[in-house]
A and B are shown apart, each in its own frame.
Chain A
Amino acid sequence: MIMTEEWIDIGTLEDIPRRGARVVKTARGDIAVFRTMDDGLFAMDDKCPHKGGPLSQGIVQGDSVTCPLHNWVISLRTGEAQGADHGCTRIIAVRLEQGRVLLSWPGMAIQAA
């Protein structure tokens, strides 16, 4: 596992199905890493703002995901619930570098140590 100061390598883009997600387990809880139809990458806490449903298990459509528990639709860009619902999930920074998926969040290094 490659570790830089603030980014952590969690795998390759191909490991995540298109219009799907995979889970990264961390000491602060699960993180959902999404890949859209067009290979857009997004990451956020794997927790719906409604009742904590695992968003990684939802259906990905465009750049949002439908929570598997009660169908709230959460924006992958902002983590915010769409439509009439209110609430927000915490976004995690993610980037792609030469086919590798890298994650970063505040305090990650401290936790990792």
Chain B
Amino acid sequence: MKERLVIIGNGMAPGRMLEKLFELAPGRYAVTIFNAEPRVNYDRIMLSPVLSGEKTYEQIVIHGDGWYINHGITLHKGTRVTAIDRVAKTVTTDNGLVEPYDKLVIATGSVPFIIPVPGHNLPGVLSYRDLDDVDAMILAARSRGNAVVIGGGLLGLEAAAGLAEQGMQVSVVHLMPTLMERQLDPAAGYLLKKAIEERGIRVLTGANTKAITGNGRVEAVELEDGTRIAADLVVMAVGIRPNGALGKAAGLTVNRGIVVDDQMRSSDPDIFALGECVEHRGATYGLVAPLYEMAGVLARTLVDEPAAYNGSVTATKLKVTGIDLFSAGDFAEAPGREEIVLRDAARGVYRRLVLQDNRVIGAVLYGDTGDGAWFFQLLREGADIAEMRETLIFGQGYAGGSPLDPMAAVAALPDEAEICGCNGVCKGKIVAAITGQNLTGLDQVRAVTKASASCGSCTGLVEQLIGLTLGGDYQPAEMKAMCGCTDLGHDEVRRLIVAKQLKSIPAVMQELEWKTSCGCSKCRPALNYYLLATWPGEYVDDNQSRFINERAHANIQKDGTYSVVPRMWGGVTSAKELRAIADVAEKFNIPTVKVTGGQRIDLLGVKKEDLPGVWADLNAAGMVSGHAYAKGLRTVKTCVGSEWCRFGTQDSTGLGIRLEKFTWGSWTPHKVKLGVSGCPRNCAEATVKDIGIICVDSGYEFHIAGAAGLEVKQTVLLCKVASEEEVLEYTGALMQLYREQAHYLDRIHKWVKRVGLDSVKQQIVEDGERRRALFARFVQAQKHAQVDPWAERVNGAFAHEFKPLADLRLAHAAE
């Protein structure tokens, strides 16, 4: 009698295994298969093309009914095995069959993971695993209604693209900040998100699903932040779990999956496991390539040939037409690893290789994945790439290709992109002037178009445009690069952020072809500021790109403690505030209380863990952060002025308080300090401040560009105004111009020196319309900026920043 081989599950892995087995020993086994799905073996991978309508079920069948008949296989469709009796060596099914085996193969695949949020079992909530799911989705799509896909990984995105193809309004809700974060790095994740959105699919990242709601049927998905998305269909694609339940119930060793050795044998010598339900050397797999390797090994084991499975490296592709991505191996940072990055913004290409000991250990490709297979081969072979390191990133076909063009970003700008912000000149106009009037140099372009004729920040870009238009003859002056991550200078980056509407750090890095995958401590804080200043209320601050003082909203001290400086508007305080400060100092054992050079009180030596407590008490007494740590408004120093002083000409104290209440909270390229003195005796030292007001009988002198730090700079008089209202308008306008034009870490005096006092005068004093527009933009930005960061943190924001991850001292004491 033939040996009896029973297989549980009729998926892709056992299908491949049987093909091999019949090749090796055609008549050896009598095969019986039980399959819970009521159908033959089909290509599960191709479900997405079935969903999108590109293929039919018939086209993806791997083994038709005839194949089973030809090989004498008994296939029980729609029959689930419910138990394995290892002593009697039988399996029992849900319809009462008891089938004996000599050898048993468990190939039960995976089960989709369902997040147990309220409403997860409402009708209309589907997973994405088999043909029944696809049929249900296609049926639901006939309504052309709204679909929400929970999960932005491989399956979720394929489902989303398919449903959109079927005419549904699709939203993808993803918990992590970038899509497919397990296979892609943030740069590639950014490109993927853009491509998905271009298909009309809404993508919500960093979004945590709170509940699925509906009356008898799904109607909406609710997120943790309160957002509600209407839904006629919800697809949950948040991951899979190896299906080891049967094995576990039968007493086999099961961890995450059914544990097998290198021959695919479970802890019972007559029972084998294969496919996604398996755990081999601690690893589980969710892609077919490794399962096919397992299948070959098992077939040979079943005919007593020596064979061993040694684990696999996997590569991922996304099967959405028009989106090319590839990732393989390991690209986490770790000891001894280096990276090579190539970006081509115009073509939407991003490539990153991770190397260790001159070998490729990880690869991420987006946009142009033609070399994926080659990189994957180098990776699997562990090939030594030292010889071709310089050109490796360009791929296999590289034949002395050209280096990246630093002008590409400018070349790729649309004609209507604004190059000169001061005079509102766009790219098309400059190019037209150069060609139309045969211009050959910067001065001519300036004279004709006015571009770069004011502050000059866009000079580099204008020169590049001249170079691009005239070809090789024109040599633009070299730009001073922001840092080693880019060839572009601060001005160019700032202008391109506006012109190309770039709204996140990964967007800037991709579109402007950064040479590293995630920047450095020089460019990241600068980009964070530029984005914040350009898109107030829209850009989400990147806390991890900030220096510790701005991240923790306190100044770090030499011993790692912090100092806390509450605002004291215009240097004026009260008994109540002083009492609260005294109480806080005592309650938290704060060692030093000092009056600062900025007319307020510094509490020095506060432990980081105590910061939220200290702030809570100060908040309770009405005090807010003094931003003593910020590239932003610091202090407004005042003198007593006309209210008390026998020489005072105006209410300098009151004006100082007004100015501080107007400007606090704003983020600026460097710190900004103001001073208001009640008369030219200048007791508030206003003439060494970034903006200084000297009150005189007839009104107010408006001084700018002073400093008393590493360099001592006396202010220059910009103009004289008559009223407090005008002082506020000029101050807001000047701060905004500084915010828009300065390089990160340049104080006002450095910025004025670079763009020229005349340019500032022209825009603030002479051009009233421009001044009022600047003022209005400042007011607008302040609406989003004037939130007390201390109060936010007292209420729980960024709690992790202030707590140690673990306190082993306490743990040990308690044990």
The answer to whether B544 and A17 have CB atoms under 8 Å apart is yes
The answer to whether A37 and B333 have CB atoms under 8 Å apart is yes
The answer to whether B186 and A37 have CB atoms under 8 Å apart is yes
The answer to whether A61 and B334 have CB atoms under 8 Å apart is no
Query: Residues 35-67 of chain A: 1 if any B CB is under 8 Å from the residue's CB, otherwise 0?
Result: 011111000001000011110011111110010
CB distance from A52 to the nearest CB of B (A): 8
The answer to whether A36 and B333 have CB atoms under 8 Å apart is yes
The answer to whether A61 and B808 have CB atoms under 8 Å apart is no
The answer to whether B805 and A62 have CB atoms under 8 Å apart is no
The answer to whether A54 and B560 have CB atoms under 8 Å apart is yes
A24 to B811, CA, bound (A): 12
User: What residues on B are CB-neighbors of A87 within 8 Å?
Assistant: none
Please tell me which one of the listed residues A8, A23, A25, A38 contacts residue B332 in the complex, with CB atoms under 8 A apart. Answer: A38
Please tell me which one of the listed residues A46, A54, A77 contacts residue B336 in the complex, with CB atoms under 8 A apart. Answer: A77
The answer to whether B560 and A62 have CB atoms under 8 Å apart is no
The answer to whether B558 and A62 have CB atoms under 8 Å apart is no
The answer to whether B558 and A37 have CB atoms under 8 Å apart is no
The answer to whether A40 and B806 have CB atoms under 8 Å apart is no
**Interface of chain A residues 1 through 54 with chain B (CB within 8 A):** 1, 8, 10-11, 15-20, 22-27, 30, 33, 36-40, 46, 51-54
A32 to B318, CA, bound (A): 38
Interface core residue of A1, A23, A59 (most chain B CB under 10 Å): A59
CB distance from A7 to the nearest CB of B (A): 13
CB distance from A42 to the nearest CB of B (A): 8
A59 to B548, CA, bound (A): 7
A113 to B518, CA, bound (A): 42
Query: Residues 787-809 of chain B: 1 if any A CB is under 8 Å from the residue's CB, otherwise 0?
Result: 00000000000001000111111
Known: A23-B805, A24-B808, A77-B335. A57 touches B544 (CB 8 A): no
User: What residues on A are CB-neighbors of B804 within 8 Å?
Assistant: 22-25, 30
Please tell me which one of the listed residues B516, B517, B521, B544 contacts residue A66 in the complex, with CB atoms under 8 A apart. Answer: B521
A64 to B545, CA, bound (A): 14
Tell whether B576 is near chain A: CB-to-CB under 8 Å.
Answer: no
Tell whether B337 is near chain A: CB-to-CB under 8 Å.
Answer: yes
The answer to whether B544 and A62 have CB atoms under 8 Å apart is no
**Interface of chain B residues 476 through 534 with chain A (CB within 8 A):** 516-521, 524-525
CB distance from A64 to the nearest CB of B (A): 9
User: What residues on A are CB-neighbors of B335 within 8 Å?
Assistant: 77-78
Tell whether B185 is near chain A: CB-to-CB under 8 Å.
Answer: yes
User: What residues on B are CB-neighbors of A17 within 8 Å?
Assistant: 543-544, 800
The answer to whether A62 and B806 have CB atoms under 8 Å apart is no
User: What residues on B are CB-neighbors of A113 within 8 Å?
Assistant: 812
The answer to whether B547 and A1 have CB atoms under 8 Å apart is no
Please tell me which one of the listed residues B331, B543, B805, B812 contacts residue A33 in the complex, with CB atoms under 8 A apart. Answer: B805
The answer to whether A39 and B805 have CB atoms under 8 Å apart is no
User: What residues on A are CB-neighbors of B560 within 8 Å?
Assistant: 46, 52-54, 57
A8 to B809, CA, bound (A): 13
Tell whether B51 is near chain A: CB-to-CB under 8 Å.
Answer: no
User: What residues on A are CB-neighbors of B815 within 8 Å?
Assistant: 112
Tell whether B81 is near chain A: CB-to-CB under 8 Å.
Answer: no
Please tell me which one of the listed residues B332, B524, B805 contacts residue A10 in the complex, with CB atoms under 8 A apart. Answer: B805
Please tell me which one of the listed residues A25, A38, A77 contacts residue B331 in the complex, with CB atoms under 8 A apart. Answer: A38
CB distance from B117 to the nearest CB of A (A): 18
CB distance from B526 to the nearest CB of A (A): 12
Interface core residue of B333, B518, B810 (most chain A CB under 10 Å): B333
User: What residues on A are CB-neighbors of B334 within 8 Å?
Assistant: 40, 63, 77
The answer to whether A8 and B520 have CB atoms under 8 Å apart is no
CB distance from A9 to the nearest CB of B (A): 8
Query: Closest chain A residue to B331 by CB distance?
Result: A38
The answer to whether A38 and B185 have CB atoms under 8 Å apart is yes
The answer to whether A61 and B333 have CB atoms under 8 Å apart is no
The answer to whether B518 and A39 have CB atoms under 8 Å apart is no
A2 to B610, CA, bound (A): 28
**Interface of chain B residues 544 through 565 with chain A (CB within 8 A):** 544-549, 552, 556, 558, 560
The answer to whether B547 and A68 have CB atoms under 8 Å apart is yes
Known: A10-B805, A22-B805, A77-B335. A59 touches B547 (CB 8 A): yes
The answer to whether B518 and A25 have CB atoms under 8 Å apart is no
A22 to B552, CA, bound (A): 13
The answer to whether A37 and B809 have CB atoms under 8 Å apart is no
Interface core residue of A20, A58, A61, A68 (most chain B CB under 10 Å): A61
Query: Closest chain B residue to A76 by CB distance?
Result: B333
A26 to B517, CA, bound (A): 34
User: What residues on B are CB-neighbors of A73 within 8 Å?
Assistant: 521
A49 to B811, CA, bound (A): 28
8 residue pairs, one from A and one from B, having the closest CB atoms? A40-B333, A22-B805, A10-B806, A54-B560, A57-B548, A19-B544, A77-B335, A59-B521
Can you identify 15 A-B contacts, CB atoms within 8 angstroms?
Answer: A25-B809, A26-B809, A27-B808, A30-B804, A36-B333, A38-B333, A57-B560, A58-B548, A59-B525, A59-B548, A60-B544, A62-B518, A66-B521, A76-B333, A112-B812
